[in-house]
Amino acid sequence: MKYLIDAARQYGLDEIADRALENPNVHGIIVDVHPLWLMCYGHYLRGFSSGLWENELFEYALRRFSYYPDYNFLSTSDIFQTTVPFDLGWLPRGWDNFFNKSSGLLVRIQLRPGSKPVELGSANYRLSVVQEHSPVVQFSASAKQLLRPLEGGVSIGYASDPPGTLGGILKDTNGQCYGLTCGHVIRNTGVIVDQPSSIDYSTPGSIGSCVYNCLPFPNNGNLCNPRNTTYLNDMDIALVELDPQIQSACSILNIGSIKDYMPANNLHPNLKVEFNGRSSGHQTLVTGGIGLVMEVEDTQTGQKSCVKDLIEIKQPSLSNLVLQRPVKGGDSGAWITINGTNGLEWAGMIIGENRQAGFAIHSEDILTHLNSNGYSLTCI
């Protein structure tokens, strides 16, 4: 999904980000697609958009959006059940005339609740921009039964630390199995890891020890900016080497067997995703945009970090959000899965939430990072 950022940079994303991120009330920027564009594009892919009908479609969508201008939610009929070709160069007829914009991309500036909108100046930006009040993302470390063979989507923890979720199982070329979760769930290498956590189960079972940890470093009070790489993070992972006697499976509780990982550029907005978390259990959500940069708070230490390239996952409708938060504390480490070309594919790992949405690291980035640190692993 990082191609959204690359595309938006051609239309002035960096200028918007620099201006917005100077304001301490901005805690993140998400690059998304405009819901009107997404609605029209879905009809275009279904073969309904041509000639005069395309004009009528755009006018219908515009009336619907004008009646209730919700930049975050579309109807369930607009959700993609699997990945589709995503042509950002396509525009509905009339788009340029009505919006005076060069693309269907949307920049969503995240404001702290109660703060005033940011003054972006009088520049004629070629991207649609909306400012939203939302809580700061927090690491969400908080399936609680003993599970053997071990699989993803279950409680995991160390001693009395807040528990999280074992996302899934990875293997190396020698057949050694590893469990993957967040670095803020298992914070130190060498410690013995339990499944379920001792907080969730009176007699937890040891599954192995943490052999690798990459925890986001704090920003030390500096404002987040994607061009200030000194304080920019893209990883929050812990790798647990499983003991030889622990049987495991490359599958996720309540979801099924993982067939492959999903390349980052196969992801796009409004795509159906599933995960199974320690606290939420099984959830079906949709992808939102991608975080150019997000401020994330560690609720254990109070420290804040700047994290880039996070996948936003959210409820498919406002009514769903009213009924249930998409991600809860304790879901950190859960893998998000999507039906891809090879079957059920691992798309990312949840690291945090802000009550309105969850945020995840791309699976491709995780595997690349682990490989560069001596762990050549697969998820099948």
Which tokens in the block code for residue 266? 């196969």
238 against 79, higher pLDDT:
238
Main-chain phi, psi angles of 236, to 5 degrees: -155, 80
Do 28 and 88 lie in one domain? The reply is yes
Do 43 and 104 lie in one domain? The reply is yes
Q: Which domain holds residue 16?
A: 3-134
Across the range 355-369, mean pLDDT stands at: 97
pTM of the model: 0.84
- Is 377 a member of any domain? no
Do 193 and 115 lie in one domain? The reply is no
- Is 378 a member of any domain? no
Do 126 and 159 lie in one domain? The reply is no
Q: Tell me: the pLDDT tens digits for 115-128?
A: 999 998 866 678 98
Do 336 and 270 lie in one domain? The reply is yes
240 against 45, higher pLDDT:
240
Q: Is the pLDDT of residue 25 over 80?
A: yes
For residue 55, what pLDDT is reported?
A: 61
Do 34 and 157 lie in one domain? The reply is no
Tell me the pLDDT band of 99, cut-offs 50, 70 and 90: confident
Question: How confident is the prediction for the chain on average, in pLDDT?
Answer: 89
- Distance CA(86)–CA(153), nearest Å, equals 30
For residue 75, what pLDDT is reported?
A: 54
Q: Is the pLDDT of residue 72 over 60?
A: no
Q: Is the pLDDT of residue 69 over 80?
A: no
- Is 380 a member of any domain? no
Q: Tell me: the pLDDT tens digits for 284-313?
A: 999 999 999 999 999 999 999 999 999 999
Task: Give the rounded percent of residues in the chain with a pLDDT score beyond 70.
Answer: 89
For residue 68, what pLDDT is reported?
A: 46
- Is 122 a member of any domain? yes
Do 95 and 190 lie in one domain? The reply is no
- Is 318 a member of any domain? yes
Across the range 174-198, mean pLDDT stands at: 96
Do 200 and 264 lie in one domain? The reply is yes
- Is 149 a member of any domain? yes
Q: Tell me: the pLDDT tens digits for 148-162?
A: 999 999 999 998 889
Do 178 and 122 lie in one domain? The reply is no
- Distance CA(275)–CA(91), nearest Å, equals 33
For residue 117, what pLDDT is reported?
A: 92
Do 267 and 340 lie in one domain? The reply is yes
First to last CA, the chain: 22
- For the domain that residue 244 is a member of, what is the CATH number? 2.40.10.120
Domain boundary (102, 134, 166) is at: 134
Q: Is the pLDDT of residue 67 over 50?
A: no
- Is 32 a member of any domain? yes
Domain boundary (83, 108, 134) is at: 134
For residue 126, what pLDDT is reported?
A: 85
Do 17 and 100 lie in one domain? The reply is yes
Nearest to 181 by CA among 315, 2, 360: 360
Do 160 and 127 lie in one domain? The reply is no
CA dist list (Å): 242 to 53, 155, 177, 192, 258: 58, 15, 6, 10, 18
How many structural domains is the chain composed of? 2
Pairing state between β 260-261 and 343-353: parallel
Domain boundary (134, 151, 168) is at: 134
Tell me the pLDDT band of 327, cut-offs 50, 70 and 90: very high
- Is 379 a member of any domain? no
Q: Is the pLDDT of residue 52 over 80?
A: no
